[in-house]
Amino acid sequence: MFIGHIALPNRLFAAPMAGVTDRPFRQLCKRLGAGYAVSEMVTSRKDLWTSLKTSRRANHDGEVAPISVQIAGTDAQMMAEAAAYNIDRGAQIIDINMGCPAKKVCNKWAGSALMQDEPLALEIVEAVVAACAPRNVPVTLKMRTGWCSTERNALRIALAAEAAGVAMVTVHGRTREQGYKGHAEYDTVAAVKAALRIPVCANGDIDSPEKARDVLVQTGADAIMIGRAAQGRPWIFREIAHFLATGEHLAPPATLQAKAWLLEHLNDHYALYGEYAGVRTARKHIGWAVRALPGGEEFRARMNTLESCDDQVRAVADWFDALADEHRLLPHAVAAANDSLIEPIDADPMISSAQQQA
């Protein structure tokens, strides 16, 4: 599997999720079987590049290659500059966000709202490709199936993007209008795949090895991208890889192994965010990790009262040790994934960075 000239170890990708797929989480996904992981979106607004939030997002220290940065914005020149800025900071692939439905992004005509304005969408793609091509950096595009059920224009935009030099297209099988409701459909993804020569990645509601296999078969896609199902279950990538290779299910991870991965994640997380923000933003990852486990809800509530890294780490370690006494293997690991279709946070890099500095 290649994106432009860049070879990937497999075709299982971690989806960009603002507020989730920061560097520590991407690293963990890659370690546990993801062949590729896209950053949280980085705004094209220069005035926000020096904000703590954006500078954290543009920090790729120690990240396993290829480093892929998603950019979001509404102005072709600004998007081209954002691409160059992120390449200077280590990006090896630039992804254009035409998939995010968050309201504040859409009010600014970024994200999936761009699909409603095809000339502007294409202008942005052309400008970003022009900025990246001289530096040998492939450009990818992530989009939805269209704006609404009567306006499914993913195929038209994908063909235009391919002609403009885009190296891969990812399609989330929902319209912008759907938000995260209903189910993803894969016929539009299959139509895009059938029409394009560049790789196509299918995305939306993939939460099990069987679903991964079925989506690959139904769409003929070159790759699949997983978002919410990896929250609290980053080892889903290796579970899928094993199933696709052997037709058999990997056993759930040992409870103490899951504990070790979570503690490793927490330490990386604190190193990036510091104690105050780190403890608070780690709560969601811990919550996802325990939500489907016996006693997980009670632990989540208690954990939300802890205010220091030491206390958080100790509580997590003790809780998993006690669970391991009862369950050598992680119980309900599959239920955790099926329960994963939670609403996304309205994370917005365009507007709210000042409020989200902590």
Residues that bind ligand FMN (CB under 6 A): 15-20, 40-41, 70, 97, 99-100, 142, 172, 203-206, 226-229, 344-345, 347
Q: Nearer to ligand FMN by C-beta: 193 or 228?
A: 228
Least separation in angstroms between residue 312's CB and ligand FMN is 21
CA angle 72, 31, 33 (to 5 degrees): 85
Residue 188 and residue 154 in contact, taking contact as beta carbons nearer than 8 Å:
yes
DSSP for 237-259 reads: HHHHHHHHHHSSPPPPPBHHHHH
Q: Which residues contact 356 (CB under 8 A, 6 or more apart)?
A: 53, 347
Report CA 241 to chain centroid distance, whole Å: 18
Assigned token pair, 285: 């990852």
**How far is Cα 171 from Cα 99, in angstroms, rounded to an integer?**
8
103 vs 228: CA distance, rounded Å: 19
Buried/exposed code over 65-81 (b: 16+ C-beta within 10 A; e: otherwise): ebbbbbbbbbbbebbbb
DSSP 18: T
Residues classed as catalytic: 100
The two structure tokens encoding residue 227: 């978002």
- Rounded to whole angstroms, the Cα distance separating 213 from 280 reads 36
* Residue nearest ligand FMN, Cβ-based: 227
What is the DSSP secondary structure assignment for residue 121, as one 8-state letter? H
Rounded Cα gap, residues 144 and 100, in angstroms: 8
Calpha distance 188→194 (Å, rounded)? 10
Distance of CA 259 to the CA centre of its chain: 22
Tell me the C-alpha distance between 203 and 337, whole Å.
15
The CA-atom distances, in angstroms, between 231 and each of 75, 141, 302, 321 are 32, 23, 20, 21
| Closer Cβ to ligand FMN, 144 or 300, answer by number | 144
Residue among 20 and 190 whose Cβ is closer to ligand FMN: 20
Smallest separation, CB 352 to ligand FMN (Å) = 13
